[in-house]
Amino acid sequence: MMKALSGGTFSRDFTASIVVFLVAMPLCMGIAIASGVPPERGLITGIIGGVIVGLLAGSPLQVSGPAAGLAVIVFEIVRDQGLSALGPILILAGIIQFVAGILRVGGWFRAISPAVVHGMLAGIGVLIVVGQFHVLFDDRPLPSGLANLMAMPSKLLGLDNEPAFIAFAVGLVTIVSMLGWEKLRPASMKLVPGALVGVVAATLVAFFMGLEVARVTVPESIVSAIALPDEGIWSQFLNPTIIATALAIAFIASAETLLSAAAVDRMHNGVRTDYNKELRAQGVGNLLCGVAGALPMTGVIVRSSANVQAGAMTRLSAILHGIWILGFVALLPWLLQEIPMAALAGILVVTGVRLVSIQHVRHLFHSYGPLPAVVWAATLIMVVATDLLTGVLVGLGLSMVELLPHLRKLGLKVGERQDGEAREITLDGSATFLTLPKLSAKLDAIPATGALKLNIERLSHIDHTCAEMVKEWLQRRRQSGERVELLGATGRLKTFADAA
């Protein structure tokens, strides 16, 4: 921290923190509302994610806070078990994450198939869109994704209802302003986020036209929003439902965080993520969120990418963004109370649509064949039709099918030798998600020598999870100026070699 304050990076971190703050504010409130809890609970998570997790994080440029990826599961917890169950669930989930970080299992989360992760996010995106579609009309979402989907036509047919029509119009102003700004904004204002423009435009329209629409409700004091656990919390720790839900939250939050951290690493050439340290920091963050009665947190790619693109250099940017949220909520709660609920719903509808990455499933299909695309689609469908955890487990189960033809040879040997001025790394055997932690650790430990050769002529098979990891490693090394040569790619490995 002292290094960040004393070095020449302070001005860049300061500027980036303001950009991230402007991105985070509407998302923190919108995700809370989508989760079925008051908006201030999301703001508390944003503050903890910035100030506390920012200090402890193993990924210095990643920003933590409430994530759209957990909104669906939190909504189900609040609906089925009540808001009081969220605290003990998050405390347990945080402890599980912290212990997992101590036991150094962070690297194993990288072994989860990208098809499963993107299928899960796509399913969450669909659920957010069909749920928040109803909030666009100042109505409440229905209990399930399928019910929300079936009720969408009747909402559109009911636009002759004046209050619903006005709320829908405010939501459309938000969406059009957000997308229009992102497409047409001048280069000098590229750091001004579209979500902020959309919320401001809708709020001004509603205010100056005196529109009767539902608005955000936040307390005058953020301290009064903190809901500490009561004495009965100890008995809830023995509840099997609480324990199972905590495990699910810990697993999904950890996977989303560490995959987001890997994506952030691809955006810059600075300090690489310490996955186990990041897992411990997230555990502390979620434990504190549970104590405060807030939402669960993860590392979030939208805010993290905004942080990197705004020029952040150290963890100070993430910490400051949490301080700005705290200051804004403490000093200007009346301003937040002017924001229409339909405006936040509009932002989340756009966010949900963007989680459904058709481009990614096309990439999986063209690069690795139909199986990863089937895993993606099955995960998406099961998340929408059943629940988040079932969808992820189905996706993980289908990922195992890729191992069946190679059950007799699942081992992988990683050799290393000096070949003249270059260091040569040899892969011998089958590279699957089972060997990914070992392979990833070995590749990341190779020093920057200026010249590398990766020999895969003895590699009998590489699955899409390992292939994506190795491609990212190659790209990162090459972007840093190293000469990296790929040797021995033939037959079924040619596609991998060409992509790398």
Q: What is the pLDDT of residue 499?
A: 53
Helix (H, G, I), strand (E, B) or coil at 307: helix
**Distances, alpha carbon 313 to alpha carbons 10, 22, 189, in Å:** 8, 18, 20
Amino acid (1-letter code) at residue 290? G
Tokens for 142? 């229905």
Report whether 251 contacts 65 (CB < 8 A). no
Handedness of CA 379, 89, 291, 37 (dihedral sign): positive
**Distances, alpha carbon 359 to alpha carbons 250, 356, 396, in Å:** 28, 9, 21
Q: What is the pLDDT of residue 378?
A: 95
C-alpha 364/C-alpha 119 separation (Å) is: 11
pLDDT tens digits in sequence order for the chain, 500 residues long = 555 555 568 888 998 899 899 889 888 998 998 899 999 999 999 999 999 999 999 999 999 999 887 888 899 899 889 888 999 999 999 999 999 999 998 878 778 888 888 888 888 889 888 888 988 998 888 777 788 888 888 887 776 678 889 999 999 999 999 999 999 989 888 888 888 999 999 999 999 999 999 999 888 888 888 888 887 788 888 899 999 999 999 998 998 898 788 778 877 777 888 999 999 999 999 999 999 999 999 998 888 888 888 888 999 999 999 999 999 998 888 998 999 999 999 998 998 898 888 888 898 888 888 999 999 999 999 988 887 778 888 998 998 888 887 777 788 999 888 877 788 889 998 888 888 888 888 888 888 777 888 888 888 888 888 888 888 888 878 877 788 888 876 654 555 555 55
C-alpha 480/C-alpha 266 separation (Å) is: 11
Run of H or E including 460: strand 451-462
C-alpha 118/C-alpha 60 separation (Å) is: 24
Q: Where are the alpha helices (DSSP H) in 35-142?
A: 39-56, 68-81, 86-102, 114-135
Condensed to tens digits (0 to 9), the pLDDT of residues 1-25 reads 555 555 568 888 998 899 899 889 8
Residues in the chain: 500
Q: Could you give all domains of the chain from N- to C-terminal order, each with its CATH number? A: 9-341 (no CATH), 356-404 (no CATH), 412-499 (3.30.750.24)
